Structure 1
Amino acid sequence: MAFTICNKHAILLLLVAMATSHIAHASDPDIISDFILPPNATADGNFFTFTGMRTLVGAHLPTTFKVIKATKAEFLALDGQSVSYAVLLFPSASVNPPHTHPRSAELLFLLSGSLQVGFVDTTNKLYTQTLQAGDMFVFPKGLLHFQYNNDAKNPALAISVFGSASAGTVSVPSTVFSTGIDDGILAKSFKTDVATVEKIKAGLVPKP
């Protein structure tokens, strides 16, 4: 039987997580109105509704790691509300590479499967854990972290809540190797040669 992302049980857990997401510690500036309405927008039920997660219901897991976000970039009603949301889809043996969220901590809830997770603090100490379905793990604000599904057969599905409407994501591989930093600087920084740097860059280019 093909694996589908959302069944009734998963949807229930998703709704519970959304309901509890408001307890996340806010890091955005406080607003002095109930909500922020963009120019030419109408304050009605549609404005406060996000339908972008409907694609998850009954869908099959993607072949590579995928994240579906609900930040103020996708959901304008979140502006000023100090909360956002993401669904993380992990096929077997897939990874969410090391990255940071500069404006928020991340509270991850594993709905199905298992994940190896970890973060590194400012003393370069690594904290890791293997999560099972139903577990939660917090990645402190701004610290480097990752998630890895090392199960060769089974996928994993997780949701994350952020205490910011725009937590931001700084991916280490793409930030270091795909933003135009000189190959010579990278080679010296990683104590390697330019040929190795070029090989790494080529591996990060998505296949057509």
Structure 2
Amino acid sequence: MRKYFITGLLILVPLAITAWVLNIIISTMDQSLLIVPERWQPRTLIGFDIPGLGTILTVLIVFITGLLTNNLVGNFVVRQWEKLLHRIPVVSSLYGSVKQVSDTLFSDSGNAFRKAVLVPYPHADSRTIAFLTGAPATEVQKHLDGEYISVYVPTTPNPTSGFFLMMPKKDVIELDMSVDAALKYIVSMGVVVPE
């Protein structure tokens, strides 16, 4: 009986957690309907809410924003908007930092999380999976002896927190593993082994 119960848990728990996370994401994105005038909201028009309509609206807003800013006029407007934001003291540092990180993570030319690597951590006799993030800054590099690379070592089971390390390139082993597979391996604490 215990075996069947555990088997049931192994099937239902991931499904329930996935449904729960999707529900949180969709209900959060449904809050975007608040920007729509009250008379055009589904509750007013048809008498009830439509789950997921806010998600569709959010995706459309993001897509249209990308479409409009991906031309000469849109680029000009974005540059002027960013100049304005950089003049506001607290907003400037916060927006600048977030913009730099998002540009690095989402741009096609960025190096963030492009490769899974094996590194010695937390000491020389143990290994963990990390992600290649680039090379140390010039100012840092001139104080290092030899060739170094920058890596991000995520924590388990929450990979959004972790450690940024600069390691000798000779100590880093590139893995023949996708970033997605490496993340699954880390989040599952080694239970889900990549193929």
Q: What TM-score results when the alignment is normalised by the length of structure 1?
A: 0.22
Which one has the bigger strand percentage?
Answer: 1
State the structure with bigger RCO (CA 8 A, min sep 6), 1 or 2.
Answer: 1
Structure exhibiting the larger radius of gyration computed from Cα positions: 2
